[in-house]
Amino acid sequence: MRAVRFHEFGKSIDMYQVDEIDRPDPRDDEVLVDISASSVNPADTYMTEGMYAPPELPWVPGIDFAGTVVEVGDRVGDPDAAGQAAHFEVGDRVFGTGTGKHVHGGYQEYAAIPTSRVVHLPDNMDLITAGGVGCAAVTAWLCLVDFADLQVSDQCLIHGGSGGVGHTAVQIADAAGAHVIATASPENHDRVRELGADIVLDYARDDLAEAIIEASGGGVDVILDHRLDEYLDLDAEVANMEARVMGIGEAEMDPSVGVAASSAPRLKNLTVKFMKMFNTPDLKPPLEGIAGMIERDELVIDVAREYTLEEAGQAHHDVMADSFFGKLIIRP
Ligand SMILES: NC(=O)c1ccc[n+]([C@@H]2O[C@H](COP(=O)([O-])OP(=O)(O)OC[C@H]3O[C@@H](n4cnc5c(N)ncnc54)[C@H](OP(=O)(O)O)[C@@H]3O)[C@@H](O)[C@H]2O)c1
């Protein structure tokens, strides 16, 4: 079978090879999935550059996947420590996330995937689109639902509501009943509004903080921030007392952003939480939550572009370089 592999760390588009390798055998707690699609996340590029390095090289990247189960490990179906059993059969349509770091990822024709990272795909989503759900939607879910405990009465600010994470976060916040304020480039405002944002603002405007305060009627309660180094001070300015700020990234990849240097979070009793999706070992609960939203037509994924396995290097370049709405998809 064909698999994209990188044999060294780096940023070059040419370092991604499509290799002919053996089809993997699923371990006891794994299912073998015939991959229909994977997607490209900024974190996929961090891994190929050597940050969040996988255990060995050559390695198959791809945090997300969707496809059809073709083989089931011997112990799939046994109850786990919590008494829960995973039920998968050959022919099941599935999607998930959390591969590409500890186990080989989705940029290949078949992938062996632990059942803690895979759930059934509702009938109303196609397998190509489903390749783009995983990391983006699960990160948004963990931040807004599990960590920030978003309430129907909350004013919620989503920075970058047009991005992979952002466009799912807008839908999750809207489904939770919150009042949703998002930022995006002007050409993306209409679509962010269609997905559920009540107000969309251009992040480049000089009076952004004032505009957010006005849009929220005085301040926001929950903030999803993917560029903490740029926006932490603004977050503190627009936050209500006791607001929850979820930090998922930085523009300059500098995790030491100004929290220590800024008294702003202290002035309002802010909770600022830094999170990484990979810190959650069992991704099944958020994936099940997302699947429920898909089934109820509360969550869609906008596919911006599709790439072949041979174009994986270009896709990794584009995810960091371009502005696009939603997700970049890789199809074996
Ligand atoms: N911690 C985690 O577990 C985790 C998980 C997933 C992602 N992340 C991080 O979250 C970030 C976003 O990921 P993604 O997949 O959503 O990326 P993406 O699809 O490339 O989205 C980027 C978003 O940023 C917006 N943007 C660009 N410049 C901006 C600025 N100056 N101010 C505000 N927004 C700006 C874009 O808006 P326009 O296109 O409208 O200009 C777009 O909405 C990345 O840093 C990624 O590493 C972290």
Residue nearest to atom 26 of ligand 1 (CA): 160
The DSSP annotation for 110-136 comes to EEEEEGGGEEEPPTTS-HHHHTTTHHH
160 CA to centre of ligand 1 in angstroms? 6
2 CA to centre of ligand 1 in angstroms? 30
- Pocket lining for ligand 1, CB < 6 angstroms: 41-43, 135-136, 139, 159-160, 162-166, 183-185, 188, 203, 226-227, 248-249, 275-277, 319, 323
Please identify which residue in the block is written with the tokens 């944002």. Answer: 197
Atom of ligand 1 nearest to the CA of 165: 16
Query: Which pLDDT score, from 0 to 100, does residue 78 have?
Result: 85
6 CA to centre of ligand 1 in angstroms? 24
Q: What are the Cα distances from residue 104, in Å, to 23, 116, 147, 260, 304?
A: 12, 15, 28, 37, 25
Residue ranges, CATH 3.90.180.10, the chain:
2-136+278-330
Query: Which pLDDT score, from 0 to 100, does residue 261 have?
Result: 57
Class of the CATH-defined domain 2-136+278-330? alpha beta
Residue ranges, CATH 3.40.50.720, the chain:
148-274
Structure tokens at 320: 């960091």
Query: Which pLDDT score, from 0 to 100, does residue 84 have?
Result: 77
Query: Which pLDDT score, from 0 to 100, does residue 264 have?
Result: 66
135 CA to centre of ligand 1 in angstroms? 12
Mind listing the pLDDT tens digit of every residue in the chain (332 residues)? 999 999 999 999 999 999 999 999 999 999 999 999 999 999 999 999 998 889 999 999 999 999 999 999 999 988 777 777 789 999 999 999 999 999 999 999 999 999 999 999 999 999 999 999 999 999 999 999 999 999 999 999 999 999 999 999 999 999 999 999 999 999 999 999 999 999 999 999 999 999 999 999 999 999 999 998 889 889 999 999 999 999 999 877 665 655 555 676 678 999 999 999 999 989 999 999 999 999 999 999 999 999 999 999 999 999 999 789 999 999 99
Tens of pLDDT, residue by residue over 35-82, are 999 999 999 999 999 988 899 999 999 999 999 999 999 999 887 777
HEC letters along 7-40? CCCCCCHHHEEEEECCCCCCCCCEEEEEEEEEEE
Say whether the peptide bond before residue 285 is cis (omega within 30 degrees of 0).
Answer: no
Identify the CATH number of the domain defined by range 148-274: 3.40.50.720
- Mutational test site, ligand 1, from 144, 162, 223, 226, max ligand atoms within 8 Å of CB: 226
Query: Which pLDDT score, from 0 to 100, does residue 182 have?
Result: 98
Query: Which pLDDT score, from 0 to 100, does residue 257 have?
Result: 57
Query: Which pLDDT score, from 0 to 100, does residue 52 have?
Result: 83
Structure tokens at 191: 């679509």
Query: Which pLDDT score, from 0 to 100, does residue 253 have?
Result: 64
Atom of ligand 1 nearest to the CA of 324: 39
Integer Cα distance of 20 and 323 in angstroms: 33
Query: Which pLDDT score, from 0 to 100, does residue 86 have?
Result: 80
Atom of ligand 1 nearest to the CA of 136: 6
